[in-house]
Amino acid sequence: MEKSLKVKELMERVGSSETGRILAYIKDGLEELNMVAETHVTTDRINITENQRFYDFPHDMIKVIDVRCKNQGNAADEYRSIPRTINPPSTEDSDGI
């Protein structure tokens, strides 16, 4: 038996027949849910570039769960969590960043 909720069933439960509007609210609701419940989690690996400090968060990210780097505190190519600093370094590095 298929148990997952269909859009049509949700529309019946809330008493609406406006598909576009309900779909928009469902998408809003899914984002709110994932702020708390983290129903869908994924990882994305991006390249570290020499002398590039800033990297974009993934386009579809709602909430960061962990940030890891390759070879963080190890030489076995393992990905380990990296600490978040409270403040950025107060002086520029040699690249002027």
Partner 1 sequence: MASSKFYAYYVRGRKIALIQHDFTLGTGQTLSQPGLNAVGSRGDVLWKSPTETIASGLEIEYAYSPKYSITTASTTQINKFYINGWTVKDGYLTFLRSHSAAVANWDASPYSAVGDDEHIVVKGSSRWSGLHKIKAGGTDGTLQTYTRVHQSVPVVVGSSNINIAAEASSKALISSNDTSNIWLNNLFSAGDYIFVSGSGTAKNNGFWKVDSVADDASVESSSGIYVANRYYCYDSDNTLDTEGEDTTVDTTATSNESVTIYKAYRDFSYLISDIDTLNDESDTIDLPDYLSKALVYYVKAKLAEDKADIEQKEYNMREFNRLLEKNESSKIWGARKIGTDETAIR
Query: Of 52-81, which residues contact partner 1 (CB under 8 A)?
Result: 52-77, 79
User: Which DSSP state fits 39?
Assistant: -
Q: Of all helices (H) and strands (E), which one includes residue 8?
A: helix 7-14
Query: Does the footprint of partner 1 cover residue 1 (CB under 8 A)?
Result: no
Burial of 71 (0-12, 13-18, 19+ CB in 10 A): exposed
Query: Does the footprint of partner 1 cover residue 85 (CB under 8 A)?
Result: yes
Query: Does the footprint of partner 1 cover residue 87 (CB under 8 A)?
Result: yes
Closest separation in Å from C-beta 73 to partner 1: 6
Closest separation in Å from C-beta 30 to partner 1: 4
What are phi and psi for residue 56, nearest 5 degrees?
A: -75, 145
Closest separation in Å from C-beta 18 to partner 1: 9
Is 46 within 8 Å of 55 (Cβ atoms)? Answer: yes
Residues in region 7-46 near partner 1 by CB under 8 A:
7-8, 10-11, 13-14, 16, 19, 22-23, 25-46
